Structure 1
Amino acid sequence: MPLIHTLLVYTHILFGAVALVLFWLPVAAKKGSRLHRLVGRYYAWAMYAVALSALLSCLLVLIDPVGIRRPGLTLNAETAANVARGARMGGLFLLMLAVLTFASVRHGLLALRERQQPGVLRSTAHRGLLVALGVLGLVVTGIGLNFANVLLQIFGGISVVVSISMLRETRPQRLTATQRTIAHLGGLIGSGIGAHTAFFAFGGARFFADLLPGQWQTLAWVIAPAIGTVAIIRLNRRYRRAEQTAPVVGQHLGRSRPTSP
């Protein structure tokens, strides 16, 4: 089982690195262009692989925490219990992040399909996934409060908020073009936040250890979510303003158009 866990971790790292590179190409490309759609599809597949490999590796930790974290060692009962508790807490936290990533990518892709397949966002499977994310968020938040762990509290709360936000987007019988765009961008940018957070918190941990000692290491976890959240809010406002002003502009042009004799 430790070998399987190691292979899953390396798979996770490999596809995570690929996703980090692919994320920025659709962002820079013209929206709706062939490059945007093609690379965006590859990015989504890479992020699915990231999320699924993380989910499976976390499940292994939850099933056999001591065997995964301390393979081949004989521990006394107290030490084994402590190792198991810490491993399961970390495993549950990372499992929640895996579900958050998977749900964000799926929500963003389904939002695009909503135009041709109205109601696809309201499927039982997708809503169940979002509810599961919210429940995991509440559990992790509760654990964070119990152990005074700020990181668990922050990301548990984020997962609950994201779950509620996406569930609200599944309510309309038919989404407008603006609502579909916002749901698509929110989901895919949200998954990108997860990829960059993992990079800053894990891949860049050694680098940030020198710059951010002690409790300041928490900043490595919140830099990407903070920037990404601001970006999503600004995009939401931009598209909503465009939707609100479009009819007004159209009516004004209609009134100013000269009548035919």
Structure 2
Amino acid sequence: MINEKGVVINMILFEGMRWVHIVAGFLALFTFWIPIVTKKGGKVHTRIGWIYTSAMAIVSVSAWYMGLYRIFFSPYSDSEVISFAWFLIYIGLLSAATAWYGIRVLRFKHRKSRHRHSIDLLFPFLLLSGGIGMSIYGHFINFPLLAWFPLVGIFLGGSQLWYWLRVPKMKGQWLIEHIVGMLSCSIATITAFTVFGAPQLLNIAGSHPVLWFIPTIVMLPVIIGFTTYYTKKFSH
């Protein structure tokens, strides 16, 4: 059991981590689009890309902390708060996994064989298996956000494993995977803001569940567009 003093200390730590999460989240939200519109591989693209990636790393770690706190340590959590906490943990995993993938495909862009580095396979495996578990749990408790949003992670986790465990067949495939990874990370950025940030900023109780999926719906054509363009470019 945690005494009253321990509860107060945990609440102070939680509040501090919440502000770290908010600042890093807004930094990511304001910078994610710059690498998209700037020259790929250029100085601005690279520098802002690292700022965005670093911000998302902080967002992910702080999301895990806050989610676990809400589930296991907060004396004020109810079933709805716990459901949102699980989503926070999963979207933190999605952010970390996609950002890591986007970086690591650059690191191994010249590989000529299957890639079996444990850390690079662990993230997509967790994304895939965790997504299945979260989706089942979401259906069980009738919570649409957990029931359907993890499908994004299931697809991305599966596609990342598919890329790592196969020998690249197309020149420049690494660039396509880098773009897909970072754009997928931006889905997590915008979705988290839609679910958590916007309601607090606008001082409303919550947003309609349909709005939670708009970032995925909007970003999916962008991902398909970039993938199609570069696939055609490298196929010739």
Using the size of structure 2 for normalisation, the TM-score is 0.86
Distance 1:198 1:89 in 2: 14
- Identity of matched residues, %: 23
Does 1:228 pair with 2:219?
yes
> 1:123 offset after TM fit, Å?
1.1
Pick from 103, 113, 135: which aligns with 2:97?
103
Distance 2:17 2:170 in 1: 40
The residue number in structure 1 matching 2:45 is 36
Query: Cα deviation per residue 1:24-43 (whole Å; 9 max; x = unaligned)?
Result: 22112111111111111111
The residue number in structure 1 matching 2:116 is 122
RMSD over aligned CA atoms reads 2.4
The residue number in structure 2 matching 1:94 is 88
Distance 2:170 2:13 in 1: 45
The residue number in structure 2 matching 1:74 is none
> 1:96 offset after TM fit, Å?
0.8
Query: Cα deviation per residue 1:159-182 (whole Å; 9 max; x = unaligned)?
Result: 111111111111123564431011
Does 1:146 pair with 2:140?
yes
The residue number in structure 2 matching 1:7 is 16
The residue number in structure 2 matching 1:60 is 69
Segment drifting more, 195-204 vs 17-26: 195-204
Distance 1:112 1:138 in 2: 28
Query: Cα deviation per residue 1:127-156 (whole Å; 9 max; x = unaligned)?
Result: 112111222111111111112222211112
Greater relative contact order, per chain length (Cα 8 Å cut-off, separation 6+): 2
Distance 1:121 1:9 in 2: 37
Does 1:196 pair with 2:190?
yes
Distance 1:185 1:127 in 2: 19
The residue number in structure 2 matching 1:17 is 26
> 1:209 offset after TM fit, Å?
8.7
Runs of 5+ consecutive residues of structure 1 not aligned to the other structure: 71-82, 247-261
Using the size of structure 1 for normalisation, the TM-score is 0.79
Pick from 156, 161, 182: which aligns with 1:162?
156
Say which one has the larger Rg.
1
Distance 2:118 2:200 in 1: 42
Q: How many residues align?
A: 227
Distance 2:169 2:102 in 1: 13
Letter in 2 for 1:144: G
Contact 2:68 2:85 in 1 (8 A): yes
Contact 2:24 2:59 in 1 (8 A): yes
